[in-house]
Chains A and B, each alone.
Chain A
Amino acid sequence: MIDTFDSRALGRIDCFGQRFMRTGTYRYHLVPAAWAPATYEHPYTVEVGTRDKKRKETMATHTVQVRFDGKAFQPASERAAIEEGDLVIWHCPDARHVPLAVVGDKEFFGNRAMVNECGFSHAFAAAGEYAWVDAYGSGLAGVVRVKDPDCRTDDDFREWHRTLTAAKLVMITGSEADPAEVDILTGQTVYFAVTKSEGVSVTDRRLVRNRPEAE
């Protein structure tokens, strides 16, 4: 099992993104994934201000780099200031870190169960066929097929590396994934965008196999 993924437990090649559609202060914490259900403190904030009407783009992306000191996670900045409609992406590149959860103070905010206007990305570092499911049993499922590029020359490697800048999109609405099956090359990223759901996960099927059906 060389490469696995679970939107509830972010690894170093995963990102979680949350879009904030209304102004206000949203608090959150960054904790080891297993702690998420028992996390009640939210020391970090996302301040969402009124959208500048002059701005052309629909949505700006703000990346919050997360550090891991061996015991705890900490964002590069404890306060992120954004505008309504913007997306915040959390990513912890530290190779030593335990799987991470972003725990928000609102029901829609967090990666434990993705509800709406959020997303999970995973860079697939090894070839293979990856079946994924919603670990909460909604029936949401899909497949990512990852193929090694046939690289022989330097140009082949450059061409492959260029393809890595293009992620593949899977839109999730309710318990439907569109497209349910995607084909990519090794190293490419798939972004699972959740527009609206009851709270789902994108979990490598091998991680839930032989377990009782999750509630």
Chain B
Amino acid sequence: MAEITAAIDEQGANDLFGAAIAALPPMSTSGASNLGPFTVSYSASATVTNGSVDLRPPGVIRIANLRLDWHVTFSFGVDLNDYLPPLHIPSACVDIPCVGEVCTPEIDIPWPSITIPVSFGDFVESDIDFTLSISQTGGQWRVEAVVQGVPNLEIGASTAAALLAAIALELDAIVTPIAGPFANIVVDAILGAIAIADLTGFLGPILTPFVSGLRIPIYNQPVNFEVLPAESPVDPAITITIDTLTADVQHNAPEDELVLTADISA
């Protein structure tokens, strides 16, 4: 029988996880990926908001509707020459009074390469299962809830469509002054090269690690700690040692509980 046992029910677990998740710092990442035929450099940030804790013995804590608010900024380059032939300006002639006709030579104007910057944010909610991880490092006991497996974030078609609209807006703003009468054709062609599946395939690998790598600290305690200060030279401080620590999700009728047990020595 453990010397110390602490237990909280689901409501307590909700409060505990709510506070622990609120204390998590914003997460960020950056890298390179592909968006359809385009190579993309991105940076992304995310924060997590607690959902509803469901203790599921044995050993599983499910947080329903765990919310990930995310924001991604990325840019990709487009060589407009891949989409348009060079702008061919034929020999242009003008008649100068009393002098004669002047004709300029034919000119082919190549199109520039452009960079499309996109900034977009949304949120995704998922039911995520956690298990408890107990470790002792650096004289400290740590109990954390760790995501079980790699969760499947459902990035919906509406998010992908909104991202595509954000890309279209940027494309319009950049391409129109350059491509003039060809702008609509180019914008449609570039957007046509990006399928909805490309967008979800682009976002998924960026956002999933924010959740799959989630570790929520639940309990931190030094292995040795003072429980009573020294009162006098003959009455020294009392220090105890936590020799073993366990954490589990148990069903103790009628409640499902998050249970922490410890064996101590003086």
Using CB atoms and an 8 Å cutoff, list the residues of chain A in contact with chain B.
2, 12-13, 15, 17, 19, 57-59, 61, 63, 65, 87, 89, 91, 93, 95, 119, 121, 123, 125-128, 148-151, 157, 160-161, 164-169, 171, 186-189, 191, 193
- A148-B108 CB under 8 A given contacts A164-B90, A164-B92, A166-B94: no
- CB-based nearest A residue for B111: A125
Which listed segment binds A: B63-71, B97-105, B118-126? Answer: B97-105
Which residues B179-224 have CB closer than 8 A to chain A?
180-181, 183
Nearest B residue to A65, CB-CB: B105
Query: In angstroms, how far is the closest chain B Cβ from the Cβ of A193?
Result: 5
Asked if A123 contacts B92 (CB within 8 A), the reply is: yes
Report A58 CB to chain B, min CB distance, Å: 4
User: Cβ of A187 and Cβ of B87 under 8 Å apart?
Assistant: yes
Question: Taking the complex as formed, is B77 at the interface, i.e. its CB lies under 8 A from any CB of chain A?
Answer: no
> With contacts A168-B94, A189-B89 known, is A15 near B109, CB below 8 A?
no
Question: A165 vs B89: C-alpha distance in the bound complex, in angstroms?
Answer: 8
A125→B87 contact, CB < 8 A: yes
Interface string of B36-64 (1 = CB under 8 A from A): 00000000000000000000000000000
B155 to chain A, nearest CB (A): 36
Q: Please give me the residue from chain B that is nearest to A64 by CB atom.
A: B105
Q: How far is the CB of B258 from chain A (nearest CB, A)?
A: 62
Question: Closest CB-CB distance, A172 to chain B, in whole Å?
Answer: 12
Determine whether the beta carbon of A189 is less than 8 Å from that of B104.
yes
**For B6, what are the chain A residues with a Cβ–Cβ distance below 8 Å?**
none
Residues of A within 8 A of B91 (CB): 165
Residues of A within 8 A of B99 (CB): 19, 58-59, 193
- Docked-complex contact B177 and A57, CB < 8 angstroms: no
Q: Do B104 and A148 touch across chains, with their CB atoms under 8 A apart?
A: no
Give every chain B residue within 8 A of A13 (Cβ-Cβ): 89, 107, 109
Given A59-B100, A167-B92, A15:B105 Cβ within 8 A:
yes
| Given known A-B contacts A168-B94, A169-B95, A93 and B177 have beta carbons under 8 A apart | no
Query: Which residues of chain B come closer than 8 Å to A168, judged between CB atoms?
Result: 94
- Option from A57, A123, A151 in Cβ contact (under 8 Å) with B89: A123
A12, A119, A126, A157: which contacts B102 (Cβ < 8 A)? A119
List of A residues within 8 angstroms of B87 by Cβ: 125, 187
Encoded as 1 (CB less than 8 Å from any A CB) or 0, chain B from 150 to 176 comes to 000000000000000000000000000
A selection of 14 A-B contacts at a CB cut-off of 8 Å is A15-B105, A19-B99, A59-B102, A65-B105, A121-B104, A123-B109, A125-B109, A148-B180, A151-B181, A157-B181, A160-B181, A171-B96, A189-B92, A191-B94
